[in-house]
């Protein structure tokens, strides 16, 4: 029997054989941006210590970061519409490198606001990467396998997330947590500020390494020939593409809202997971960090599991089922805070794992010349990650309960379940 031709491979698989190299380079971007996304969860705990922030104030780390997504999503889509996906990805990696490098002067100055600016620039670069990479993966093969293809590429994102949290736990967390009496003694001795400065400087090295790596990956993409995608075949109709035209597609704008709630649930849960673990189990920040690493492993396993299950099940009912499971898990964590509740929050990562890529692919089906604009708006929905962490911090402070703050992601999962079951229908 003769070996299958490239055309047969493309028909049988969900990755076009002729585009394997650009597919691989772009898929690795999902891993790359997972690192800074989840280093934020470490920064929240670290900056609460080094800058003496409240939970509400620390929540603005995510706000500064995800506002970058909100403000740059449309410009990134317009740039890629005018030029190409490749130009957008290169520009995104450059901005990412600049933002990471700025952590050094921010740490030397000891200025929380400069860190927030650096995080905003990092997120601005990641906006280009997410807008371009998600649509690139969806559009580069057969429409019938788009959800599965994107789940496969997105499965590398939690590997980056795990690396980010693990690097942060090992290299940023010092494991030194002083009680009130020790802090008072250090202030009297005049060496408390030195301790805070040392804790602040611990964040620099991981971000400098990230800056160098992103520049190297930018060079690899520059040297690679990218294919013309299916969506780019609509060039004659590109002038008719507009955000207003998307209002004709209810499944799209419902999907944007679903993505908003999903990003809020994911970012809010991971932002305060270490706090939940410490509050109700008495574990240290290092142990909490390893606990967070574990839940991200569950997230990664969930992505690969979902990719496999989609060979046999349609994505919509699968996402609806996983949403309802998460509603139940979070309800237990709210009602029964403690080690059982912590494990319930832990396993929500497995079931939330398919939501972002599946929601993205379902929402931009059949949009033709409007696909790039739609993709940009979907990336804007990541602003949910800016909105919900401060809300959760506010609830936690005013009710004096990190458990009750988890009611926020619970409500988000309810809407995601509705969208998967009913709102995503194309008619």
Rounded CA gap, 56 and 391, in Å? 8
Position of tokens 């009913």? 422
Q: Are 389 and 57 in contact (CB under 8 A)?
A: no
Position of tokens 């990230």? 210
For residues 105-123, average pLDDT: 94
> What pTM, to 2 d.p., does this model score?
0.76
Tokens of 293: 């690493």
- Say if residue 304's pLDDT is above 70: yes
Express each pLDDT in 231-249 by its tens digit. Answer: 554 444 444 556 677 888 8
Give residue 89's pLDDT. 95
For residues 90-114, average pLDDT: 95
Give residue 338's pLDDT. 92
Greater confidence (351 vs 378) lies with 351
Greater confidence (154 vs 130) lies with 130
Residue ranges covered by each domain of the chain: 18-228+240-423
Q: Taking all residues of the chain, what is their mean pLDDT, rounded to a whole number?
A: 86
Tokens of 51: 């800058």
Q: Are 268 and 56 in contact (CB under 8 A)?
A: no
Give residue 208's pLDDT. 96
Q: Given this structure, which CATH class describes domain 18-228+240-423?
A: mainly alpha
Q: Are 217 and 93 in contact (CB under 8 A)?
A: yes
Give residue 7's pLDDT. 46
Task: With CA atoms as reference, report the closest residue to 41 among 166, 126, 128.
Answer: 166
Instruction: List, in order, residues 6 or more apart from 379 with CB less than 8 Å away.
Output: 69, 73, 76, 77, 127, 130, 131, 134
Quick one: 411 exposed, middle or buried, by C-beta within 10 A (0-12, 13-18, 19+)? middle
Q: Are 224 and 21 in contact (CB under 8 A)?
A: yes
- Say if residue 427's pLDDT is above 70: no
């Amino acid at each position: 029997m003769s070996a299958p031709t490239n055309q047969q491979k493309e028909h049988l698989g969900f990755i076009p054989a002729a585009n394997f190299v650009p597919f691989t380079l772009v898929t690795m971007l999902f891993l790359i941006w997972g690192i800074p996304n989840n280093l934020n969860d470490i920064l929240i705990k670290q900056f609460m210590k080094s800058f003496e922030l409240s939970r509400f104030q620390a929540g603005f780390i995510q706000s500064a970061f995800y506002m970058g997504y909100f403000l740059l999503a449309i410009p990134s889509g317009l740039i890629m519409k005018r030029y190409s996906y490749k130009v957008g990805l290169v520009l995104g990696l450059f901005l990412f490198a600049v933002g990471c490098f700025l952590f050094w002067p921010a740490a030397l100055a000891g200025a929380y606001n400069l860190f927030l600016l650096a995080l905003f620039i990092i997120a601005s670069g990641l906006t280009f990467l997410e807008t371009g990479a998600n649509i690139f993966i969806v559009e580069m093969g057969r429409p019938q396998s788009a959800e599965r293809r994107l789940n496969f590429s997105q499965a590398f994102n939690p590997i980056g997330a795990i690396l980010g949290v693990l690097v942060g736990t090992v290299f940023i967390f010092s494991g030194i947590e002083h009680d009130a009496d020790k802090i008072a003694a250090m202030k009297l001795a005049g060496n408390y500020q030195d301790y805070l400065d040392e804790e602040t400087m611990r964040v620099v090295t991981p971000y400098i390494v990230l800056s160098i790596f992103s520049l190297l990956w930018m060079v690899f993409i520059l040297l690679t020939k990218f294919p013309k995608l299916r969506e780019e075949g609509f060039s004659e109709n590109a002038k008719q593409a507009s955000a207003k035209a998307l209002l004709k597609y209810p499944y799209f704008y419902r999907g944007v809202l679903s993505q908003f709630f999903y990003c809020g649930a994911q970012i809010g849960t991971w932002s305060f997971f270490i706090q939940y673990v410490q509050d109700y189990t008495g574990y240290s920040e290092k142990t909490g960090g390893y606990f967070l690493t574990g839940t991200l492993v569950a997230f990664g396993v969930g992505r690969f599991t979902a990719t496999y299950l989609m060979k046999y099940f349609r994505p919509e009912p699968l996402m609806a089922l996983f949403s309802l499971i998460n509603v139940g898990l979070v309800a237990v964590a709210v009602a029964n805070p403690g080690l059982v509740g912590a494990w319930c929050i832990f396993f929500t990562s497995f079931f939330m794992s398919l939501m972002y890529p599946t929601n993205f692919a379902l929402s931009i089906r059949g949009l033709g010349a409007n696909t790039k604009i739609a993709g940009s708006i979907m990336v804007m929905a990541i602003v949910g990650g800016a909105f919900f962490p401060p809300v959760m911090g506010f609830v936690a402070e005013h009710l004096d309960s990190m458990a009750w703050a988890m009611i926020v992601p619970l409500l988000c999962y309810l809407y995601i379940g509705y969208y998967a079951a009913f709102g995503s229908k194309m008619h």
